[in-house]
Amino acid sequence: MTGNADEPFITAVKPLVDAMGGEMLPPDEAGTDDVVLAWEGVDVVAVRLPQLADSLDHILVAMERKQGKPLADLDRKAKQEVVRILEARGAFSVRHGVETVAGALGVSRFTVYNYLNREKEN
Protein backbone atom coordinates (compact mmCIF):
# COMPACT_ATOMS: atom_id res chain seq x y z
CA MET A 1 0.00 0.00 0.00
CA THR A 2 2.74 2.46 0.97
CA GLY A 3 6.45 2.66 1.57
CA ASN A 4 8.23 1.53 4.71
CA ALA A 5 8.37 5.05 6.19
CA ASP A 6 4.58 5.04 6.49
CA GLU A 7 4.31 1.60 8.10
CA PRO A 8 4.37 2.82 11.75
CA PHE A 9 1.50 5.21 11.02
CA ILE A 10 -0.55 2.53 9.26
CA THR A 11 0.22 0.06 12.05
CA ALA A 12 -0.92 2.65 14.60
CA VAL A 13 -4.28 3.41 12.95
CA LYS A 14 -5.12 -0.14 11.85
CA PRO A 15 -6.68 -1.24 15.18
CA LEU A 16 -9.01 1.77 15.10
CA VAL A 17 -10.00 1.14 11.48
CA ASP A 18 -10.59 -2.54 12.27
CA ALA A 19 -12.68 -1.69 15.35
CA MET A 20 -14.88 0.56 13.22
CA GLY A 21 -15.24 -2.10 10.55
CA GLY A 22 -13.50 0.16 8.05
CA GLU A 23 -11.21 -0.73 5.18
CA MET A 24 -7.77 0.69 4.45
CA LEU A 25 -6.71 1.41 0.87
CA PRO A 26 -4.12 3.46 -1.02
CA PRO A 27 -4.90 7.21 -0.97
CA ASP A 28 -5.06 7.36 -4.79
CA GLU A 29 -7.97 4.88 -4.69
CA ALA A 30 -10.01 7.01 -2.28
CA GLY A 31 -13.58 7.83 -3.21
CA THR A 32 -15.42 11.00 -2.30
CA ASP A 33 -16.80 9.48 0.92
CA ASP A 34 -13.48 8.00 2.05
CA VAL A 35 -11.26 9.67 4.65
CA VAL A 36 -7.65 10.26 3.56
CA LEU A 37 -5.15 10.32 6.42
CA ALA A 38 -1.94 12.29 6.01
CA TRP A 39 1.30 12.04 7.97
CA GLU A 40 3.83 14.86 7.88
CA GLY A 41 2.02 16.45 4.94
CA VAL A 42 1.87 13.30 2.81
CA ASP A 43 -1.31 11.31 2.13
CA VAL A 44 -0.58 7.88 3.59
CA VAL A 45 -3.76 5.86 3.63
CA ALA A 46 -7.45 6.19 2.83
CA VAL A 47 -10.11 4.75 5.11
CA ARG A 48 -13.42 3.55 3.73
CA LEU A 49 -15.97 3.71 6.53
CA PRO A 50 -18.68 1.05 6.70
CA GLN A 51 -22.36 1.70 6.20
CA LEU A 52 -24.17 2.23 9.51
CA ALA A 53 -26.01 -1.09 9.33
CA ASP A 54 -22.72 -2.90 8.70
CA SER A 55 -21.21 -1.06 11.67
CA LEU A 56 -23.95 -2.37 13.95
CA ASP A 57 -23.30 -5.94 12.82
CA HIS A 58 -19.57 -5.39 13.38
CA ILE A 59 -20.20 -4.00 16.88
CA LEU A 60 -22.40 -6.97 17.78
CA VAL A 61 -19.75 -9.45 16.62
CA ALA A 62 -17.09 -7.58 18.64
CA MET A 63 -19.31 -7.62 21.72
CA GLU A 64 -19.81 -11.37 21.37
CA ARG A 65 -16.07 -11.86 21.05
CA LYS A 66 -15.50 -9.76 24.18
CA GLN A 67 -18.15 -11.72 26.14
CA GLY A 68 -16.72 -15.02 24.93
CA LYS A 69 -20.15 -16.38 24.02
CA PRO A 70 -23.21 -15.53 21.95
CA LEU A 71 -25.09 -12.48 23.24
CA ALA A 72 -28.25 -14.59 23.37
CA ASP A 73 -26.56 -16.73 26.07
CA LEU A 74 -26.06 -13.78 28.44
CA ASP A 75 -28.21 -13.33 31.53
CA ARG A 76 -30.80 -10.55 31.71
CA LYS A 77 -28.54 -8.09 33.53
CA ALA A 78 -25.74 -8.56 30.99
CA LYS A 79 -28.20 -8.11 28.11
CA GLN A 80 -29.40 -4.87 29.69
CA GLU A 81 -25.79 -3.69 29.86
CA VAL A 82 -25.28 -4.58 26.18
CA VAL A 83 -28.36 -2.51 25.28
CA ARG A 84 -27.03 0.40 27.36
CA ILE A 85 -23.68 0.29 25.57
CA LEU A 86 -25.33 0.00 22.16
CA GLU A 87 -27.62 2.93 22.87
CA ALA A 88 -24.62 5.06 23.87
CA ARG A 89 -22.99 4.11 20.56
CA GLY A 90 -26.05 5.11 18.53
CA ALA A 91 -27.10 1.59 17.55
CA PHE A 92 -30.78 2.41 17.72
CA SER A 93 -30.55 5.29 15.28
CA VAL A 94 -29.83 2.74 12.54
CA ARG A 95 -32.81 1.52 10.56
CA HIS A 96 -33.95 -1.82 12.01
CA GLY A 97 -31.46 -1.37 14.87
CA VAL A 98 -33.88 -2.60 17.52
CA GLU A 99 -34.77 -5.66 15.45
CA THR A 100 -31.11 -6.43 14.77
CA VAL A 101 -30.16 -6.14 18.44
CA ALA A 102 -33.20 -8.14 19.56
CA GLY A 103 -32.21 -10.94 17.20
CA ALA A 104 -28.63 -10.96 18.47
CA LEU A 105 -29.79 -11.00 22.10
CA GLY A 106 -32.44 -13.65 21.47
CA VAL A 107 -35.21 -11.42 22.87
CA SER A 108 -38.22 -9.62 21.43
CA ARG A 109 -38.25 -6.02 20.22
CA PHE A 110 -40.57 -5.32 23.14
CA THR A 111 -37.87 -6.53 25.56
CA VAL A 112 -35.25 -4.28 23.96
CA TYR A 113 -37.62 -1.31 24.29
CA ASN A 114 -38.19 -2.25 27.95
CA TYR A 115 -34.42 -2.30 28.52
CA LEU A 116 -34.14 1.12 26.84
CA ASN A 117 -36.98 2.58 28.91
CA ARG A 118 -35.56 1.14 32.10
CA GLU A 119 -32.23 2.82 31.38
CA LYS A 120 -33.94 6.19 30.91
CA GLU A 121 -35.73 5.86 34.26
CA ASN A 122 -32.45 5.46 36.17
62-103: pLDDT as tens digits: 899 999 999 999 999 999 999 999 998 888 888 889 999 999
pLDDT-derived band at 45 (thresholds 50, 70, 90) equals very high
In 3D space, the residue among 89, 66, 83, 92 whose CA is nearest the CA of residue 122 turns out to be 83
Q: Rounded to whole angstroms, how far apart are CA atoms 85 and 22?
A: 20
Model-level pTM? 0.62
Q: Percent of the chain beyond pLDDT 90?
A: 59
DSSP-derived secondary structure letter, 51: P
